[in-house]
Structure 1
Amino acid sequence: MVNFNRIVAVVDDDESVRRALKRVLHSFGVEAETFPSGEAFLSTLSSGASCHSACVIVDFQMPGVDGLELLRRLAPTGVPIIFMTGHDDPAVRNKAFAIGAPGYLKKPLDGVALIGAVEKALELPVLPKSSSPSWG
């Protein structure tokens, strides 16, 4: 296990996705905090709680504060945002990359692509590969 002392925030309105992402990230030695909505994540940040996210993995389409709105609000902080979506749209993907997103992942997520996006976002050396991350 590798411990980079960096926390990745996972923001998704689907609890099973949050659990799966946290489990996969943990299997690669990356700590994750999960949030059920953009509002919950922003509320935690504004409360001064000890969540210091090195990057955010966010569902592109959620009720309320969606991925793009979260990006807009976090832009001044420089925290990288990795988008994930079940509804891939090339125009949206291109826009995400144009504004500097280090990753844009399609659901169901691929563990290798997820870890690659986190490595890129955190500018980490390649993480050690664990045997076949499971999502179930």
Structure 2
Amino acid sequence: MGNLKPFVVIVDDDESVCRAIKRLLRSVGIAAETFASGDAFLNVLSSIPSYRPDCVILDVQMPGLNGLEVQRRLSGSGTPVVFITAHDNISVREQAFAGGAVAYILKPFNDDLFIRTVRAALEGGQAS
């Protein structure tokens, strides 16, 4: 295995959620960076060609661009997307999976399940 750690981006408008997920991922050897909005993440993505996360964790409901819109803009990039949300909505869940999401997890979530899901996404597997 190489020296490069997997690199995950977390996009959630709740700062405490971002901090908790980043800490959890770092505890298992996964590097993470957080963004408070989809706009901020997409701006960095478009302005730095070498900036390519191995996986993106998206909140569904955020001010500005919601998670589904961010997912649409990532379409074709091959970057796996894991959705996290406190508001389960069948229509939104169906849109997420139709757009290629590898997982849709409800908050609050079990840490072990979350780590397994992110690892599966990083390895190219499908989780649910």
TM-score range, shorter chain: 0.7 to 0.9
RMSD: 1.8
TM-score using structure 1 length: 0.83
- Alpha-carbon shift at residue 38 of structure 1 (Å): 0.3
Determine the structure 1 residue equivalent to 2:36.
36
Q: Following TM superposition, by how much is the alpha carbon of 1:95 offset from its aligned partner in structure 2, in angstroms?
A: 2.8
1:71 aligned partner: 71
Deviation string 1:56-108 (CA, Å, 9 cap, x unpaired) is 00100111111100010001211111001110112322332233211111111
Checking the alignment, whether the CA contact within 8 Å between 1:86 and 1:106 is kept in structure 2 is yes
Residue pair 1:8, 1:31 contacting (<8 A) in 2 also:
yes
- Aligned counterparts of 1:92 and 1:66: Cα–Cα separation in 2: 11
Equivalent residue letter for 2:114: L
Q: CA deviation at 1:124?
A: 7.0
CA gap 1:4/1:118 in 2 versus in 1, 3 angstroms: farther
Give the unaligned 5+ runs of structure 1.
126-136
Indicate the residue corresponding to 1:85 in structure 2. 85
Aligned mates of 1:7, 1:58 — CA distance in 2? 14
Aligned to 2:121: 121
Q: What SS does the corresponding residue of 1:53 show, helix, strand or coil?
A: coil
Where has structure 1 moved over 4 Å in runs of 4 or more? none
1:8 and 2:8 matched:
yes
Q: Alpha carbons of 1:113 and 1:4: their partners in 2 closer, same or farther (altered >3 Å)?
A: farther
Name the SS for the 1:76 alignment partner: coil
Q: Which has the higher contact order (CA 8 A, sep 6+)?
A: 1
Instruction: For 2:95 and 2:45, locate their aligned partners in 1 and report how far apart those are by CA, in whole Å.
Output: 25
- State the identity as a percent: 52
Partner of 2:59: 59
Secondary structure of residue in 1 paired with 2:34: strand
Q: 1:17 maps to what in 2?
A: 17
Aligned to 1:133: none
Asked if the contact 2:5/2:29 (under 8 Å) is kept, the reply is: no
Q: How many residues align?
A: 123
Normalising by structure 2, report the TM-score. 0.87
Contact 2:75 2:99 in 1 (8 A): no
